[in-house]
Chains A and B, each alone.
Chain A
Amino acid sequence: MSLLNRGKRTEPRSLSALLLDYGIVIGFAALFMLLSFQTEAFLTPRNQLNILDQAHQIGLMAVAVTVVIIAGGFDLSMGAIFAMSGVVAAFVARDLGQVEAFAGAAPYLGWIAGIATGALLGLLNGVLVTFLQINTFVATLASGIVIRGLALIITQAEQVRVPDDAFQALARGSIGDFRNTIFLWLGFALLMTLLLTRTRLGRYIFASGDNPEAARLAGINVNLVRTIAFGISGFAAGLSGVISASKFQKAQNDAGQGLELIAIAAVVIGGTSIMGGEGAVWRTVLGVLLLRLIENGFNLANVDTFYQDVFQGLIILFAVALDALRHRRR
C-alpha cells in the first residue's frame, strides 16, 4: 500500500481548492474559447502568432520576475533596466559601427553589451538588496529611478539611432512563420521552468522565499541565491530592452515605463503567490497570454482601449483576491 503512495499527491483536495489553484487555466481556456466563437479573425494562425510575438516583451520580464518573487523578492527596476540596456545596445552598435575594424560585428556586439548591462544591473540590485539588507520593494524602486536617470544623462534625452539594418535581425528575424522573439521568450520560460523544478539552485530559490532562516540553517547562502535571482531578472529586462531597440533601430531613455508593473501583474494573474516560496513559470506564461488575449480581443472587437485598462485592472484585483483566499484556507 505504501508503494502505491510513492510519488503521488496524497493530500485530500476539495473541488474549491482545485478551482483556486487552477483558476488561471480555467480563465485562460474560457477567454480563449469565447474569443474563438466571437470573432473569426481570432483563431487564424497569423493572429495567434502575433499574440505570441507581442507577448515577448512582458513575457521575458514576467517569467524572470517570477523567479525573483519565488525567491522572496520584488523587482521594480525592470522597466529602467529595459531602457538602459536598449540605450547601451544602440550606442555600442552605432558608435562601434563607425570604427572600421568593428563595423561588421557592431550590431551583434551591441546586443551583447545591452544584455550584459541588464544582467550586471540586476546583480547590482541583488547586492543592494541582500548584502545591505534593504527591503527589495524600496531598493529596486530607488535603483530603477537611478538607472533611468543615468539613461537620461547618457542620452541627453535624445533618441539613439542605429543606421545598420543588421541591428534589426534580433527582433525582426524569423524561422519560418515564427518570429525569433517567440523562441526567445518561450525558450527562456522553458529554461526557467527547468531551473526551478529540476536543479539544486531551483530548490534553493524556493527555500529562500519560503523561509530564509530555515534555508540558511540548511547551509544555503540565501544572499547569493537572491542575488542570482535578481541577475536573472536584470538579464531578462535587458534582453527585452535590446529586442525593443533592435525592432525600431533606435533606443531612448524613457522606453519601457511601467512594464515592470504589467509583468508583476501577469505573475499574480497566473497564480504565483507574491508572498514568495511558491509558484510556477507556466502560470506566468498563461498570465501573460491572458493579458494579451484581453488586449487582442478588445482590439478585434474595436472596443475603446480605455475599457481595456479597467478590465485588466479588475482581472488583477480578482487574481490577488484569489491568492488571499488561498492563503486563508491554509
Chain B
Amino acid sequence: MTAQPFIEARGLSKRFQAVQALDDVSVIVNQGEIHALVGENGAGKSTLGKVISGIVRSDSGTLLVKGRAVSYANPHAALQDGITTISQEISLLTRQTVLENVLLGQEIVRAGVLYRRAMLQRFEELQALTGFSLDPDARVRDLRAADQKKVEVMQALARNAELVVMDEPTAMLPDNETVIFLQMVRQLKAMGRTIIYISHFLQEVLDLADSVTVMRNGRTVRTARAADETPDSLVTAMLGKSIATMYPSKSPPPPDAPLVYRVSGLTSAFLSPVDLDIRAGEIVGMAGLVGSGRSRLARTLFGAEPITGGRIAINGQTVQIRSPSDAIKAGIYLLPESRKEQGLLLKQTARQNVTLPHLSGLSNLGGWLHSRRESREVVEILKALNVQPHAPNQRVSRFSGGNQQKVLFSKWLLRRPTVFIIDEPTRGIDVGAKQAIYQLIADLAQQGMAILLISSEIEEILGLAHRVLVMRLGRIVAEVPSVDGVLDQGAIIRAAFGAESPTAPQKEE
C-alpha cells in the first residue's frame, strides 16, 4: 500500500442550514479497495459520498483525487476523473432498453445516426468484462431489481468509472438478489475498480469491505481493516456507547393465553388457503423471501386486497373484512412495509398523519373535528413513542427516517389494535431507532396485543418472535416453534428456499 491513495479527504466540512453534516472529516481511500462507510442516519456518510462524487460541494477542507486537489461543481466533473455513483433508487431511463441505458451519453454515431452495430459491440465488450448476460433490447423496467443494478454498473463502466460510490445499493433489493449484487461488487474490485460502499447492513459490509470507516455526528470515529471489526464493535463505535443487546428479552405468553386471532382457510387470487392463529401477547414472526406472499397476506388480512374465501375471527367472533376500513373497525391494524409509499402523507403534519384512521372518533356526527382533543392525544402518543421532536404540527417529511417510522407507529397505536400486523418495522432506519422499535413491539405484546411480525431481516424475526411461520409461493410452508426460547434459523431458511434446495445462498451467518 505504498501507492498513492485514490481519494484523500482532509478536514472536509459541510453545513446544511442548521445541520453540520460533515465536521472536519479526513479519510483515505486506497486504489482498488472496497472501502465501507458506516454510521447511523445523519452521521454524514452519504454527504461524504456526495462530496466525493460531485453532487454536493464541501464548505471547507481539501479533497485530493490521485494527489490532485479538486472541488467538483457537479457529478459530470467528477466523472471526468472516473468517479460515479450508484444509489439506493434506480436512476435509469426505465422505459428505454438496456443498451440505450448502458451507453447513455456514450452513444456511437456515424454520419449523425446511431451506429447500432458498434454500440452492440461495445455492449458485448462490457458484458464480457463483467460476465453479465443481459438482453440489450430488454426494457429496463421489465428487469428484476438486481439486473437493473447490473445495468447501472455497466453504465458506470461504459463511462470508464474507476471509483464507484455506492450509497445503500442493496436497501431496495430482495435477499436473493442482494447475493447476486454483492458478487458483482467483488467482481468490480477484481477488475481493479475502487468502491466506496455505504450501507446499514453491517454483516454485509464486513463480508465485503477491505476497510471500514465509522462515522458519527459528521465526524469520523475510526478507519480500520474490516477483518479487525465485528458487528458489535461497529455498532459500539457508531452509537458511541456499548449496547448490551439489540433485542429485549423475550417473554412468551402463558400457555393458557386466549386465542385472539384465528384465520382459517383464507384464500385470495394470490394465496393458497392460509391458516393462522395468534394468541394474546404472542409475536408470530412471518419469514420468507421477497415475493413469497408475506406482504400480500398482510394486505389481504387487512382488507386491502380482495379475499375470496375463508373465515377470520377475533376473540371467537367472525368478522367480515372487505376493506381496510372494515379491518380497522374490527381492531386489525396494518403497519405497511413502505413508509413513504403506503404509510405516510409526506406533505401533511405529524398530527394529520397520526389521526387519519381515527377521525371518526375525533369528530362529531357532522364531521367537525375536535381540534383540541386531537392535539392533546397526538402530543401524548408522540411523547410516549419518543418521537423527536414531538411537534405535532411539523411536516412529516421533515422528520428523520427513524422518527418518521415512529410517527407511523404512533398512527397505528393512537387507538390500540387487538391484532397488529407489522410489515417491515425498521426498514431504512438507524440502529438507535431500531432498538427503540424492538422494545416497543415487545412491550405491546406484553400488554396482550396479538402481533404478526413480517420482516426481511431474519435477525429481527429471530430476536423478537415467539414462533415463526415461513411463507413460500403464496402459502405457509412451515411453522418453526421456539425450543427453550430459541428459534431454529436453519429450518426457517431451508423452508423459505424450499426443501429441494437447502444449500441455497443465504445472506445471514
Contacts and interface: CB of A to CB of B under 8 A. Distances in A.
Task: Tell me whether A and B are bound partners.
Answer: yes
A216 interface: yes
A8 B391 contact: yes
B447 interface: no
Interface string B369-411: 1010001000100010000011111110110000000000001
Q: Which 6 pairs, one residue from A and one from B, show the smallest C-beta to C-beta distance?
A: A219-B325, A210-B345, A10-B391, A200-B367, A218-B357, A218-B356
Given A7-B393, A199-B363, A220-B325, A214 B342 contact: yes
Interface in B325-349: 325, 327-329, 334, 336, 341-348
B389 A206 contact: no
A12 interface: yes
A275 B324 CA distance: 25
Question: Which of B336, B355, B360, B393 has the most CB atoms of chain A within a 10 A radius of its CB?
Answer: B393
Contacts of B392: 6-7
B113 interface: no
A131 B273 CA distance: 30
Interface residues of B, number: 45
Given A12-B17, A203-B356, A5 B345 contact: no
A330 B395 CA distance: 11
Interface of A: 2, 5-12, 14, 198-201, 203-204, 206-207, 210-211, 213-221, 277-278, 330
Interface of B: 17-18, 302, 304, 323-325, 327-329, 334, 336, 341-348, 352, 355-357, 359-360, 363, 366-369, 371, 375, 379, 383, 389-395, 397-398, 411
Question: Which of B347, B363, B390 has the most CB atoms of chain A within a 10 A radius of its CB?
Answer: B347
Question: Which of A198, A214, A277 has the most CB atoms of chain B within a 10 A radius of its CB?
Answer: A214
Given A14-B17, A211-B344, A217 B304 contact: yes
Contacts of B356: 203, 207, 215, 218, 220
Contact of B324 (A2, A210, A217): A217
Contacts of A213: 341-342
Nearest to B398: A11
Given A218-B356, A221-B325, A10 B18 contact: no
A223 B197 CA distance: 44
27 contacts: A5-B389, A8-B393, A9-B391, A9-B393, A9-B394, A10-B393, A200-B363, A206-B345, A206-B348, A206-B352, A210-B346, A211-B341, A211-B342, A211-B345, A211-B346, A214-B343, A214-B345, A215-B345, A218-B324, A218-B356, A219-B327, A219-B328, A219-B329, A220-B325, A220-B356, A221-B323, A277-B348
Question: Which of A203, A210, A215 has the most CB atoms of chain B within a 10 A radius of its CB?
Answer: A203
B304 A207 contact: no
Contacts of A9: 391, 393-394
Contacts of B327: 219
Contacts of A221: 323, 325
Nearest to B349: A9
A200 B364 CA distance: 9
A198 B367 CA distance: 8
A218 B302 CA distance: 10
Given A10-B394, A11-B394, A210 B347 contact: yes
B148 to A, nearest CB: 22
Contacts of A216: 304, 324
A207 B345 contact: yes
A277 B345 contact: yes
A12 B394 CA distance: 10
A73 B402 CA distance: 32
B445 to A, nearest CB: 23
Question: Which of A210, A211, A219, A277 has the most CB atoms of chain B within a 10 A radius of its CB?
Answer: A219
B348 A199 contact: no
B348 A5 contact: no
Nearest to A330: B397
A43 to B, nearest CB: 38
Nearest to A3: B379
A201 B360 CA distance: 10
B437 to A, nearest CB: 19
B390 A2 contact: yes
